[in-house]
Structure 1
């Protein structure tokens, strides 16, 4: 069992590499790697996730990340599949999925040409939409052109759709 609180504390601490992902974007990134149309070896994605060489990290951190990745793969193969994204929770109670989605899309960017089969397909292209809804530009505007007054509701609805979208993307390949 992975101690997510300890991993989160480590990733947020001064002990971790400056460019390492935080827990939510790491989880999204690992889901994106797991859903990739082609296998991406850990030797490639681990330094991106960690912001440096895995050799510089404590063994328990690497083991925790491996356990999370393994549980994601396992959850996707269950019948029915189980996908439990690690989203942040705002003090007001609403879910914040933006970091998770940015991590997922960073994994997509590792193999953009291979993802085109999904994104340009008539039926599969919409599967990535819940993640895309959460991408904002530097001014806080939707990259999908969602009007600011509709953005909060769109983000909430999209976050609810992410688990089933991840399953559908995994099955698409």
Structure 2
């Protein structure tokens, strides 16, 4: 990740009362931007910025949109590097384990912007597994896995899935590049 990007200032803003109530927090936003970067179709920046920020970008401090654009560009640069590099921003629990759920929800929010275009991947018997580490973090309102992972195995499955996310994102990105 580009060290010049002031993620602390962005995180502080997104958690503050100054940001719109429906703005994403940093982990969600990072997952969302990775999903936008991996999208099979181009999504206009004004559309995804409005979704991420919960308001039209012109109504917010310009540095916020600029910082998010820098983060998006850094993600794209990482995906196109040789070798590709993905560094998701996950929350960390006090106990030390990572919490990837918000990041994954952000990624899936990006998928939801153009769901029909993602069907070639998500319904593929050959390549659908590429998105499984992200989908493993999707839970229903009762906290049950949408993939049917038993409750007694969920913590371990989520930990393993979180470790697999960087490679999964690279594979999803490559999947769409090969098709285009």
Residue in 1 that maps onto 2:55: 52
Equivalent positions of 1:97-116 (< 5 A) are: 97-116=100-119
Alpha-carbon distance, 1:121 to partner: 1.6
2:89 is the alignment partner of 1:86: yes
Map of 2:71 onto structure 1 = 68
Residue 122 of structure 1: CA displacement? 2.2
Show the counterpart of 2:171: 168
**Paired positions, count:** 173
Query: Residues 74-116 of structure 1: CA distance to partner in whole angstroms, max 9, x if unpaired?
Result: 0000000000000000000000000000000010011111101
1:119 Cα deviation after fit? 1.0
Tell me the distance in 1 between the aligned counterparts of 2:112 and 2:74. 23
In the other structure, the counterpart of 2:132 is: 129
Aligned Cα root-mean-square deviation (Å): 0.6
Question: Runs in 1 of length 4+ with deviation above 6 angstroms?
Answer: none
CA offsets, 1:120-140, max 9 Å, x none? 222220011111100111111
Which runs of 5 or more residues in structure 1 are unaligned? none
- TM-score, structure 1 normalization: 0.98
Aligned counterpart, 2:98: 95
Q: Secondary structure at the match of 1:19?
A: coil
